Amino acid sequence: MTLLSKSDQEAVTAAINEVERETDAELVTVLTAQSDNYSYIPLLWAGILALLVPGIANYFVSWLGADMLLLVQWGTFILLSLLFRVPGINTRLIPRQVRYWRASNLARRQFLEQNLHHTEGDTGMLIFVSEAERYVEILVDQGIADILDNTVWEDIVADFTARCTRARRGRVFLTALPDAGSS
């Protein structure tokens, strides 16, 4: 499944070409649905909550034996592990710092994998958007960083994030690209 329609992809490509034509920047955009699958998060939460089951169950129902408590604990773990894998629930269980750290890590990997740190004149620029984490980052190479202060990018990211909605991904990219190119 693509996150942008074909027409949005073509419009973003045209906008990138326009920015690259008017500036020295070599611009790459990355839009990802999620920066990590966070497979350990549902298991972690389910395990923590399942460990509490014997104490809670014993408080309310004192007649349960150890073998029955163990079965209830296992059942709780399995049920919560499956429930917490639901995407809407899963993302709410992940602390913001963890989501941002994983998204930032992926952005930096993409910057390196796209070889934006080896561009002529050190003018590589990456606009990275991770939808599930609600995370936007602009990474620039040293040549651009020497000319422009980070506050320029922070303003663009804040504006971009404020305008981001699911239904209008392509249009938001199209409004952010000229801002990044003119900076």
Using the 3D structure, point to which of 48, 65, 93 is the last residue of a domain: 93
Q: Are residues 105 and 166 in the same domain?
A: yes
Q: Are residues 88 and 99 in the same domain?
A: no
Query: pLDDT (tens digit, 9 = 90+) per residue, 72-84?
Result: 899 999 999 999 9
Query: pLDDT (tens digit, 9 = 90+) per residue, 99-139?
Result: 999 999 999 999 999 988 888 888 888 989 888 888 889 89
Q: Are residues 135 and 70 in the same domain?
A: no
Domain contains 122: yes
Q: Are residues 19 and 102 in the same domain?
A: yes
**Is 0.85 topped by the overall pTM?**
no
Place of tokens 């839009």: 31
Q: What is the CATH number of the domain that holds 163?
A: 3.10.310.50
Q: Are residues 103 and 134 in the same domain?
A: yes
